[in-house]
Amino acid sequence: MAIRVVRENGDEILRKKSRIVEKVDDKIIELIEDMLDTMHKYNGVGLAAPQVGVLKRVVVIDLYDGNEPLKLVNPIIVKTKGKQEVEEGCLSFPNQYAKMIRPEEVIAEALNEKGEKIKIKAKGLLAQALCHEIEHLDGILFVDNMIPGTLEYVEPQKNN
């Protein structure tokens, strides 16, 4: 378990397409564990592997709602429904937020950390997080689809 460096906007790796994971092996498990540690350190609700410099289709999500974090390998969105206007941020854009339109509900499919096929029915924040993280795997960043002119810098809170 280790904290990895989070790549920030301007790093060209964030614009690359990630590769399909052929096998959920020990190396992928280690990547997932490190991504969870890294996401939790920065209080993120989601993190995609390219954000830690690894071009593999791996995503973690934790809404801090008492449910186990999602650990997703090769995730895809198979269905979307409705619309919601949301505020969105990204660990690769520290302290920046924008408004955007996301589907209200999504169905996603992926492999879990055991290599088993799973289906996730999500709405609200989880639907938003799934869309955001899966887009990272294709080099798409939230600012690409934000409502123009809504990007804001929010002063970080000091922890002392």
Q: Which residues are at the interface with Ni ion (CB under 5 A)?
A: 90
User: Which residue, 42 or 115, has its beta carbon nearer to Ni ion?
Assistant: 42
In this complex, which beta carbon is closest to Ni ion, that of residue 90 or of residue 98?
A: 90
Question: Which residue's Cβ lies closest to Ni ion?
Answer: 90
Is 105 annotated as catalytic? no
* HEC string for 42-73: CCCCEEEHHHHCCCECEEEECCCCCCCCEEEE
State the nearest-atom distance from the C-beta of 41 to Ni ion, in Å: 15
- Residue 141: CB minimum distance to Ni ion, A: 7
The residue (of 62 and 116) whose beta carbon lies closer to Ni ion is 62
Q: What is the DSSP string of 18-45?
A: PBPPS---HHHHHHHHHHHHHHHHTT-S
Catalytic residue among 8, 12, 88, 133: 133
Q: Helices in 52-153 by DSSP H: which ranges?
A: 124-136
Residue 7, classified by CB atoms within 10 Å of its CB into exposed (0-12), middle (13-18) or buried (19+), is middle
What distance separates the 2 farthest-apart alpha carbons in the chain? Answer: 45
What is the nearest approach in angstroms of Ni ion to the Cβ of residue 148? 19
Catalytically active residues are 133
